[in-house]
Amino acid sequence: MIQALLDVMLGEWGRAARDFYFTNQTTFNIIFLIWGGIITYSSFQLNNIRRKTVHLGVSLLEEKPHLSDEEAWVAFRPKWQEEINKLNPRWILNRWNIWVSKATPENIIEIMKLGPEWFAALRNGEVLRYRFSLPGENYKLSMFIKNKPQ
Q: Give Rg (Cα) of the chain.
A: 22
- Does residue 35 lie in a domain region? no
pTM confidence score: 0.74
- Does residue 51 lie in a domain region? yes
Residue of higher predicted confidence among 12 and 95:
12
Question: How many distinct structural domains can be found in the chain?
Answer: 1
Residue of higher predicted confidence among 141 and 1:
1
- Domain region containing 61: 44-145
| Lowest-pLDDT choice from 4-13, 28-37, 97-106 | 4-13
Q: How far apart are CA 63 and CA 61, in angstroms?
A: 6
Q: How far apart are CA 150 and CA 135, in angstroms?
A: 24
CB 60 within 8 A of CB 74: no
- Does residue 78 lie in a domain region? yes
- Does residue 26 lie in a domain region? no
Average pLDDT, the chain: 83
